[in-house]
Amino acid sequence: MAPIKKLLGVRVYLTLSAIAGVIVGFIAWGGLRALDKTLIAGGLAFIVVLVTIATLDLSLRGAEPQDPNEPRLK
């Protein structure tokens, strides 16, 4: 099995965000029946999920093992 860092890339982030946007869009369409508000809700969900995934990836990707007795900032 490949390491998890090699599997995750831009395509995976965009795909997950698009799926979330479409799901939110369908839910919004069922409740609102207004195309403009539905597209706004789906677009906002896409952006929020994409930024969240990218932020979490950046916070984990740079994690190098360190001595717990040494401060991180010098």
Rounded average pLDDT over 4-30 = 90
Domain count, the chain: 1
Reported as a pLDDT band with limits 50, 70 and 90, residue 72 is: confident
Please check whether residue 16 lies inside any domain of the structure: yes
| Tens-place pLDDT, residues 18-69 | 999 999 999 999 999 999 999 999 999 999 999 999 998 888 776 677 788 8
pLDDT of residue 65: 76
Residue 6: pLDDT over 70: no
pLDDT of residue 7: 62
Rounded to whole angstroms, the Cα distance separating 26 from 39 reads 10
Please check whether residue 67 lies inside any domain of the structure: no
Q: Give 43-64 as a 3 state SS string.
A: HHHHHHHHHHHHHHHHHHHCCC
34 is written with which tokens? 């207004």
Check residue 13 and report its DSSP letter: H
- Domain containing 37: what range? 9-59
Q: What is the pTM of this model?
A: 0.77
Please check whether residue 64 lies inside any domain of the structure: no
Task: Please report, in angstroms and rounded to a whole number, the separation of the first and last CA atoms in the chain.
Answer: 38
